[in-house]
Structure 1
Amino acid sequence: MKPSFRFVALLITTGICAGVFVSLRNGEEWSIKSTDNNAPFDSKEKTSLGGNGSSSSFGFGRALIVPRDGNEAETNPLPIIYGRNGRAVDFGGLRATDYISKWAGLARAGNIDAAYKVYQAESVCANSGAPLADYNSEADREQSIAEQTRLMSLCAGVTPAQVQERLNFLGLAARAGKVDAQIDYFMEGPYGRPIDLKESQDDPIVKKWKDDAITGLKAAASLGEPFALALLAQSYDVGEIVPRDAKLSIAYKAAEAEVRNTPLSEVQLRRKFGSQMSDEDFDAALQLGKKLVQDCCKK
């Protein structure tokens, strides 16, 4: 794989871009499904999805509908509105521009929840013009086109500058310790779009993002966030954002499995990650994984 930050590849899941909201901390089952045949994780966990992610860009449920007169919004059993992170966004009956205006002042004054609300809304609009995926049937495609049309209507008037500023609001929430924001900050990348990290390694913005993104993931992991643990395991295995470190990759993967109550045996971990590692280093990695769980979750 060409060394570049790609939203789907590092997330190792089709759910986020398909509009699937994964509620990790509520105990729901979920999965990390690789879109890269060379991805190191052989993830076969079960998944609990809010709709059929294979047939819709936005998932299914109840959605905000913007009527032709533009005065009020109605609700009907139609697709939920999802942000780029796959989480549902409740616009409260407002168009995106009005919703953003409602919260932007508080966000700029340092209100973390408001900052994350603005990010979520602007991330919805960042996704409004995304190319349609391949679908299994013409009916699925037509449904997705209709959903995208509604989404573009919802986001009418939101400027490219507002879409880009979502990263500033996201960074504010992530640095303040909001766990969802810390994960999203990592997923968005330094510019909110795919870039070649190797070619951009001397870019000061990229350097700062790498430091802040890993710091945020570690903070989320210290609270027992399994998705953060999984992303750290992947990052230390791939070596694009941090130097490759097999021991840390094993430690975070072991911790993630333990937090999910699906612990991996030493044989499984050795087969997946430690085939070329000394017994001493492998045991040290396992002990570090146990300590991570002990520190975050078994006090």
Structure 2
Amino acid sequence: MKISTCTLLMLSGVGLCAIFYFSGALDLVASNKLEEKENKPISSNSRPGINNWGVSPFVLGGPVKSDTQVTDKNIPNVIYGRNGRAVDFGGLTASDFISKWSSLARAGNQEAAYHVYQAESVCANNDDAIAKFENAADREQFLREREDLQKICKGVTPAQVHERLYFLSMAARGGNVKAQIDFYMEGPYGKSIDLIANRDDPIVQQWKEGAVSNLVAAAQQGEPFAMALLAQVYLAGELLPRDTKMSLTYTVADAIVRNVNISEDQLRRRFGPQMSAADFETALQAGKYMANECCKK
């Protein structure tokens, strides 16, 4: 049996932010590598162990593997959640795994809350309409994988699936960096939604405030993916008013934390036309300062 992360993302509709990250940030990096030798790079003290630019905490891991199809008595230990991270079910069904951690989670334990969120998120949106496939083989594989997920999720109620956002919020408030990023990834309703069309929705407004606060908190703890997401947030202008200076600041901080050299000339070509020379220099220095303050050892 193979349950791929791709299947989970297709079932859930999440992962757009990760795609945003790879398509936007890596485009810049690709051009960086071509011109790296010609331009003076931004430099910072190296920090061993920090991932390079483009390596996301949502990196798509290998599929769960088993020699046989999933049954009620044959649950793989490790399953990939909707965010691409591995969840160790320990051979339990999702329902039993949730029961194992629920008491601690409801008592306010943020680690347990995140475990419950992960398990419940695996079971979210598994009954949604099937997307169109270009060939029948891919569709059949998707259906087999979804059937396996449904077996793993047997006994998990719609109410439990819905409450995953509550546990996610609890874990994020408790300082769990992964949860802080996942809060943004999930969106206000745990599914894709047009933020512009629904900008007056009180739940969307509340989520926007929490999403930005969580990303900032994660960035302050040195999480580069949060910095990259904030760079996109400020550039897109959906959650916050568009602010190119802040987008540049987070872009620079993210690059430094990942120990990747990005030339000032490249950044100036990308961001410079949208701001004054003084504002560009201010944002550039702010990004360097941010990376140093959040991640110095």
TM, length-normalised to structure 2: 0.78
**Residues 194/91 of structure 1: CA separation in 2 closer, same or farther (3 Å cut):** same
Q: 183-192 vs 139-148, which deviates more?
A: 139-148
Structure 2 gaps of 5+ residues are 1-12, 31-52
* Partners of 1:46 and 1:255 in 2: CA distance: 14
- What's the offset of the Cα at 1:65? 6.8
Aligned partner of 2:18: which letter? L
Per the alignment, residue 160 of structure 2 pairs with 162
For the residue of structure 2 that corresponds to 1:275, the secondary structure is helix
What is the one-letter code of the residue matched to 1:204?
Answer: P
In the alignment, is the contact (CA less than 8 A) between 1:197 and 1:240 conserved in 2? yes
Distance across 1 between alignment mates of 2:67 and 2:159: 24
**SS at structure 1 position matched to 2:148:** helix
Q: Deviations over 1:10-60 (max 9, x none)?
A: 3335xxxxxxxxxxxxxxxxxx333xxxx6872546669999x6xxxx952
Matched, 1:11 2:18: yes
How far is the alpha carbon of 1:143 from its aligned partner? 3.2
Equivalent residue, structure 1, for 2:217: 219
Match of 2:254 among 253, 256, 280: 256
Letter in 1 for 2:232: Q
Relative to its length, the structure with more helix (as a share) is: 2
Unaligned runs of 5+ residues in structure 1 are 1-5, 14-31
- Residues 256 and 65 of structure 1: is their aligned pair in 2 closer, same or farther, counting only changes over 3 Å? farther
> Secondary structure at the residue paired with 1:126?
coil
Query: Helix, strand or coil for the counterpart of 2:88?
Result: coil
Counterpart of 2:278 in 1: which secondary structure? helix
Which of 111, 121, 139 pairs up with 1:113? 111
Pairs aligned (count): 262
User: Which residue matches 2:82?
Assistant: 84
User: Take 2:246 and 2:138, find their aligned partners in 1: how far apart are those partners?
Assistant: 42
Change (3 A) 1:64 1:125: farther
> Partner of 2:63 in structure 1?
60
Identify which of structures 1 and 2 has the higher relative contact order when contacts are C-alpha pairs closer than 8 Å and 6+ apart. Answer: 2
Report the 3-state secondary structure (helix = DSSP H, G, I; strand = E; otherwise coil) of the residue aligned with 1:89: strand
Report the CA distance shift for 1:47/1:248 in structure 2 as closer, same or farther (over 3 A). closer
**Displacement of 1:66 after TM fit?**
7.1
1:145 Cα deviation (Å)? 2.5
1:94-243 equivalences in 2 (<5 Å) = 94-130=92-128, 138-243=136-241
1:243 is paired with a residue whose SS is coil
> What's the counterpart of residue 284 of structure 1?
282
Taking the aligned partners of 2:155 and 2:147, their CA distance within structure 1 comes to 14
Give the Cα separation in 1 of the matches to 2:55 and 2:132: 22
Distance in 1, matches of 2:164 and 2:181, equals 14
Instruction: Please state whether the residue corresponding to 1:200 is helix, strand or coil.
Output: coil
